[in-house]
Amino acid sequence: MFDMFQNWDDQNKQADEARGEGSPSSATGSNSASIGYYNPKKTIVLSVGGSLFFDDKPKTAHIAKFCETVNDLIKGGFAFVLVVGGGQVARTYQASAKSLGANNFEMDEVGISVTKSNVLLFTYNIENAWKDVLQDVKMARKVLSFGRTPVFAGNMPGQTTDAVAASIAEYLQCDFCNLSNVDGIYASDPAVHPGTKMFEELTHTKMLSLVKAIASKPGAHTFVDVHAANILWRSKVRSFFINGSDLTNFKACIRGEQFKGTIVQTASASEEKEDEED
């Protein structure tokens, strides 16, 4: 495995040299980029909804603006792990696969392939991006220790990219940020119920209960899938749910400033117990 990592490192060094960026460890220009070390308190796993940047084709200009924002935040000392979903383009391919006889497992494989293509587009514009789409969650820590931004797509049939991102955040013990085309977590689907309440803050227990309640309704669209919600709940991963189209708000969220969205974080033990009893 480490021989493979060395090969990847060589490839990424060559990419850096071609762009005149020097060694991987100089990419972020901060102490957190030192080889063998990264700061989990300044690291955020970004679960990027495919619906933000991919319709029937990639929204190239929007991707470029998002990458510029990420670059700016990295220069400010933050580190990211990027996980990108499939969006409408993935659903289009899956529908075609289904009509040609693919079963559910095979349709998931098609969707995973699309997410790999999607995330690659971000690596061309994020200045310190790792150039290979990773699959092993544990490789995220190693890539971060080189001062690079690890990139992930879907990696297992039956599992969403949100669940991949949640697993990485759990492993790294860092924050999770879900970027979608809605402003935060609502009591019900805002597309169906426009006047529904948006929560500014939730405990992990309340968040998990809400996901399960929404998911139990036919045709419902949850803000995160139940598997991902369970991972965030069991390790009390601090999580943010915001609209990724508003890049100014995204910056404010990452910087710890006032933002529009929902934060899910660990409450006191007594409050968590009360939520479990409700």
What is the domain partition of the chain in residue ranges?
34-277
Residue 271's pLDDT band, with cuts at 50, 70 and 90, is low
Q: Which of 5-14, 103-112, 154-163 has the lowest mean pLDDT?
A: 5-14
pLDDT at 140 over 80: yes
pLDDT at 40 over 60: yes
Angstrom distance (rounded) from CA 92 to CA 38: 39
- pLDDT tens, residue by residue, 222-258: 888 999 999 999 999 999 999 999 999 999 999 999 9
pLDDT at 107 over 80: yes
Angstrom distance (rounded) from CA 83 to CA 112: 12
Q: What is the pTM of this model?
A: 0.84
pLDDT at 20 over 50: no
| Helix, strand, coil percent content, the chain, rounded in steps of 5 | 50, 15, 35
Q: 188, exposed or middle or buried, with CB in 10 Å at 0-12, 13-18, 19+?
A: middle
- pLDDT tens, residue by residue, 153-204: 998 888 899 999 999 999 999 999 999 999 999 987 787 788 889 999 999 9
Contact 86, 48 (CB under 8 A): no
Angstrom distance (rounded) from CA 200 to CA 211: 16
- pLDDT above 70 covers a percentage of the chain that reads 81
Q: Which fold has domain 34-277?
A: Carbamate kinase (3.40.1160)
